[in-house]
Structure 1
Amino acid sequence: MTSWEQNPPVPTAPMGPQIADDLAWSDLTAALGAGWRDFLAMPRFGLFFGGVYVLAGLAIGWFTVTGGELTWLIPAIAGFPLVAPFVAVGLYEASRRRAAGEALSWRAVLGALKGHDDDQILSMGVIVFVAFSFWMIVAHAIFAVFMAESGMGHDPIAAFLTPPGLAMLAVGSAVGGLMAFAFYAMTVISLPLLVERKVDFLTAIFTSLGVVRRNFAVMLGWAAVIAALLFVAMLPGFLGLIVALPVLGHATWHLYVRAVG
């Protein structure tokens, strides 16, 4: 009997995604540059997804204003970036295909939303919807605490400049910022991972959290870049998002490739 037969190898579980712990600030500039080049190389996909995102933002604004629900407008606009990672799934697939030299087609790019026929990306979509809905409920509760007595009145801007209004904005911004970062940490790597590999969404979420934990300063910086660019792009009636969203989506894919071996 051979030694191999006496001591057969013990099967091991397949290794999960390997997480880099040495991301640098230069990786962020490199990702943005690569994202910009992807956008210029295949603008039809970027403009399509950016346009869908803009139309969704305009629709949210229109429904809240025409419905007389101004108290929902600010939290809706503030929480709107939460859905950006899910909208960018097609952009991740476009960048993946371009890097791999695979054919680019609408069917392939739009088909990325169904993942590997395992509903994992759709499960993440449900999480996105729940997170956005939860933020809206929390934001409205904060409004009720600080503004229940005074209300918005006929001049919403003046109402926000009152002591209760300023307190509401401060608390809402702090709570919203913490919720947004938690959601960012869950999705920034998980959705690109689900596009590329056949893993379950919980593994993808834990991988994303691991990347953020091991590279906290750099990933916090990337969150700040995303927030700043999306905020500036939203100012001209959401129109800047037509370019900002696809560039950031493509860039996030390249940062994912650097972060997950």
Structure 2
Amino acid sequence: MAQETTGQDQVQGQAAAMVPEYKPAPQPVIREITMEDVQAAFYEGLNDFRAAPAYGLFFGAVYAAGGILMLALVIALDAVYLAYPLAAGFALIGPFVAVGLYEVSRRRDHGEKLAWGPILGVIFSQSKRELGWMAFVTLFVLIIWLYQVRLLLALFLGFQSFATLGDFLNVVFTTPEGLLFLLVGNVVGALLALGLFSLTVISFPLLLDRDVDFITAMIASVKSVVMNPKPMIGWGLFIVLGLILASIPFFLGLLIILPALGHASWRLYQKVVAPPEEAAAG
């Protein structure tokens, strides 16, 4: 009996030795940055765009086409009052669309070949993993944004309908109720945008680059904003201003602005999050 027990212990010991020891991935280490780092990231992003313009123009065209389709849809549904909030909320999904641009920059860093198949393949494969959950978070905030716009419209302007976008803008900018709606709506929208920006500013590139879950990525993203409020919020305001200006000429400016901002976001992520070997050493 003792020999049988000893034999079982040996078998279990050999089996345990064959199982690799689990080592959790090192947690992202957030570094402090300056406004000079943000500026440097932007110029490095422009270099990425110039080095592979076809990919940037493609993803910019996809984003611009989405904006044009969205505008045509609200006009067709006689919901022109949603044109402005949708255009503003449309910027919220920019980080998800820019995932392909992050992959282009990542491949350039590692000297990997740039090809449409692998780049698009990474996007589709990642969308079924943790990146898909981040996309869900983004769309959820967008839905909340649109819902609060409809609620504020009912509170301040009633349930009146507007035949054209011009009629809606006329009411908004020439009546006390419209101005109050504009003020409250923009304040609430700014808070939602700040919250989503904090959750996603480095989450998408981090999930593409590291084997972490989306909760860890969001925590790291918020931490990056808390540790670097001035440069990160400054970067967020720059993104908003760039997307607004790019959207004015029928969203066509997004052909240039989106790839520039997308590549720059990857470069900023690299400055904010320490490399894995530095995280492991810490």
TM-score (norm 1): 0.91
1:252 aligns with 2:265: yes
Gaps of 5+ in 1: 1-10
Offset from partner CA, 1:62-90 (integer Å, 9 cap, x none): 00012111122111111000110000001
Name the structure 2 match of 1:188: 201
Structure 2 residue corresponding to 1:133, chosen from 140, 143, 151:
143
1:163 aligns with 2:163: no
Would the aligned equivalents of 1:113 and 1:122 in 2 still touch at CA under 8 Å?
no
Evaluate the alpha carbon distance shift between residue 151 and residue 115 of structure 1 in structure 2; reply closer, same or farther with a 3 A threshold.
same
Query: Identity over the aligned pairs, expressed in percent?
Result: 38
Structure 1 Cα separation of the partners of residues 163 and 187 of structure 2: 25
Q: Which amino acid aligns with 1:90?
A: G
1:223 aligns with 2:236: yes
Structure 2 residue corresponding to 1:106, chosen from 92, 116, 122:
116
Would the aligned equivalents of 2:78 and 2:163 in 1 still touch at CA under 8 Å?
no
TM-score (norm 2): 0.85
Task: Using the TM superposition, give the Cα deviation of residue 152 of structure 1 relative to its aligned residue in structure 2, in angstroms.
Answer: 3.8
Would the aligned equivalents of 1:17 and 1:207 in 2 still touch at CA under 8 Å?
yes
Structure 1 ranges of 4+ moved more than 6 A = none
Instruction: List aligned pairs for 1:112-151, cutoff 5 A.
Output: 112-114=122-124, 119-148=129-158
Structure 1 residue corresponding to 2:27, chosen from 16, 21, 27:
16
Offset from partner CA, 1:108-132 (integer Å, 9 cap, x none): 2112324568611111111122111
Offset from partner CA, 1:137-169 (integer Å, 9 cap, x none): 111111111110665466222211211111101
Larger radius of gyration: 2
Secondary structure of the structure 2 residue equivalent to 1:238: coil
- Tell me the matched-pair count: 250
Structure 1 Cα separation of the partners of residues 196 and 181 of structure 2: 22
Gaps of 5+ in 2: 1-21, 275-282
1:205 aligns with 2:218: yes
Taking only aligned residues, the RMSD between alpha carbons, in angstroms, comes to 1.7
Name the structure 2 match of 1:33: 43
Q: Which amino acid aligns with 1:20?
A: R
Evaluate the alpha carbon distance shift between residue 117 and residue 35 of structure 1 in structure 2; reply closer, same or farther with a 3 A threshold.
closer
Offset from partner CA, 1:153-188 (integer Å, 9 cap, x none): 662222112111111011000000110111011111
Would the aligned equivalents of 2:202 and 2:217 in 1 still touch at CA under 8 Å?
yes
Name the structure 1 match of 2:255: 242
